[in-house]
Structure 1
Amino acid sequence: MFHLSLIIVVLAAGRALSCDLALVLAVDVSGSVDDEEYRLQMDGLAHALRDGVISEALVRGQAQVMLVQWTGSSRQQITIPWTGVSSFDALDSLADRVAGDPRIWRNYSTAIGDALEFVLPAFAQVQHCKRHLIDVSGDGQSNEGRPPTDMHERLRRAGITVNAIAIEASEPDLTAYFYENVIVGEGAFVITASSFDDYPDRIRKKLLREVTRQSARSGLNPAVR
């Protein structure tokens, strides 16, 4: 009986420590994004991570989170590597790092396909996580490098879902473009921000839907405004 109880405790501990979600936050820093708009993105992400429901879901799921800045071809960089969200203190520390993350590039093009290709190999480090997700934010169509659709089959084979937030500050049809060309995977969806000022509220709604698996339960259209 003692041995059986010990096994149950060990198995329960293993389940409690298992990672539910590996999440890459892929932030657009192309030339169409000015410094104020960059700050709105990073502050909005940090605020969303601290949201009560989102933070609890990330901690309960022992999530792994990475931040990538991307712009034109050959210009992508992991600025915050995989970080385990094992406690609320760890999450607060991550949010602080996101808010303080310095911008790497300015005045370059938009290469969404290249960004997806850059991110894909990083998931080899978090194979123990049940769900693999890339969260792309952007304010324009891809205009350099490989088309994002070229990456779809590789992403599907790897079990990676790509969701997006379309910031329609200058391109009013960007949501439709992201829906047709960027997102991929079961339950993938697009959220629309009408401007960068709208971004903090919309990224919160997006992360809330992702981390609480609302997309799997709601039956909503994948392109959400």
Structure 2
Amino acid sequence: MMRLLATILSIVAGSVTAECRQALALGLDVSGSVDSSEYRLQLDGLAAALQRPEVVQLILSDTSNPVRLAIFEWSEPGHQRLLLNWTSLRSANDLKQIASLLNSTKRSAAPQGTAVGPAMLFGAKLLSQQSNCWKRTLDLSGDGKHNLGAHPREVKYTLQSSGLTINGLVIGADDPSHGDKRYVQAGELSAYYKAWVILGPDAFVEVALGFEAYEDAMTRKLIRELQGLNLSQAIQ
């Protein structure tokens, strides 16, 4: 009994001294398939999702061991733009400032291609800087399949033992005139991400039917990720 109590106390003590409970790297697709209005919906949607009360509550639930956030854009190999370097989220004001940054960010020139594999590698490199976090998660948003650079299946194999989680947020056809095709396209892209992109036992794919639905999809994804972190994961 005493040995069990000592073990529990050591677990609690270890969790208290941790500096970061979760590192989240968010990668946003800005390839040629994303037009200027869709770009705006994506950034503004993320900004709004980060200020949803339910998301704020989860992020700030333990500010002594904060969530750390980084945000980048991606298109072709070698073309990634860091919008937000690693930032510890300790207050609602931190989230407001990040939202303001996203709302004011202007699109920069980016190549047309969709390099999902290199985006995974870039995100993994970012997360390697956060080795003291309980969990490290890469989120990739995308509206198309990979067509340039290292294939996602090769990158996924390379990252198998990294300890990272990779989740996806796939964006289906934006035009309502596509009708049922929107669901077909979203389903195909979701299956593609499940096969070649997501990584880890708790990994999942969230779906947005068009960029107008991006805010709600991002909100669902963040809630699922933040709710999923518990003490048993932290001490693994």
2:127 and 2:216 mapped to 1: Cα distance?
A: 28
User: Letter of the aligned partner of 2:48 in structure 1?
Assistant: H
1:55-104 Cα distance to aligned partner (Å, 9 max, x none):
12212341110001000111112121001101221122122222222223
Query: Is residue 76–residue 111 contact of structure 2 (8 Å, CA) maintained in 1?
Result: no
% same residue: 34
Task: Give the match for residue 29 of structure 1.
Answer: 30
The alignment's TM-score, normalised by the length of structure 1, stands at 0.84
| TM superposition shift of 1:167 | 0.5
The root-mean-square deviation of aligned C-alpha atoms, in Å, is: 2.3
Does residue 204 (structure 1) correspond to residue 208 (structure 2)? The answer is: no
Does residue 112 (structure 1) correspond to residue 116 (structure 2)? The answer is: yes
User: Letter of the aligned partner of 1:100 in structure 2?
Assistant: S
1:15 and 1:95 mapped to 2: Cα distance?
A: 29
SS of the residue 1:159 aligns to: coil
Query: Is residue 155–residue 161 contact of structure 1 (8 Å, CA) maintained in 2?
Result: no
Does residue 15 (structure 1) correspond to residue 19 (structure 2)? The answer is: no
Task: Give the match for residue 54 of structure 2.
Answer: 53
Q: What does 1:47-196 correspond to in 2, within 5 Å?
A: 47-61=48-62, 62-169=66-173, 171-172=185-186, 173-196=188-211
Task: Give the match for residue 3 of structure 2.
Answer: none
Task: Work out the number of aligned pairs and report it.
Answer: 206
| TM superposition shift of 1:156 | 2.8
1:192 and 1:89 mapped to 2: Cα distance?
A: 29
2:57 and 2:29 mapped to 1: Cα distance?
A: 27
Q: 1:57 to 1:17 in 2, by over 3 A?
A: farther
Query: Is residue 175–residue 192 contact of structure 1 (8 Å, CA) maintained in 2?
Result: yes
Unaligned runs of 5+ in 1: 1-7, 216-225
2:156 and 2:93 mapped to 1: Cα distance?
A: 36
2:215 and 2:17 mapped to 1: Cα distance?
A: 31
Query: Is residue 72–residue 83 contact of structure 2 (8 Å, CA) maintained in 1?
Result: yes
SS of the residue 2:159 aligns to: helix
SS of the residue 1:39 aligns to: helix
Q: Bigger shift: 19-28 or 90-99?
A: 90-99
SS of the residue 1:50 aligns to: coil
Runs of 4+ residues over 6 Å off in structure 1: none
User: Letter of the aligned partner of 1:101 in structure 2?
Assistant: T
User: Letter of the aligned partner of 2:99 in structure 1?
Assistant: A
Query: Is residue 23–residue 68 contact of structure 2 (8 Å, CA) maintained in 1?
Result: yes
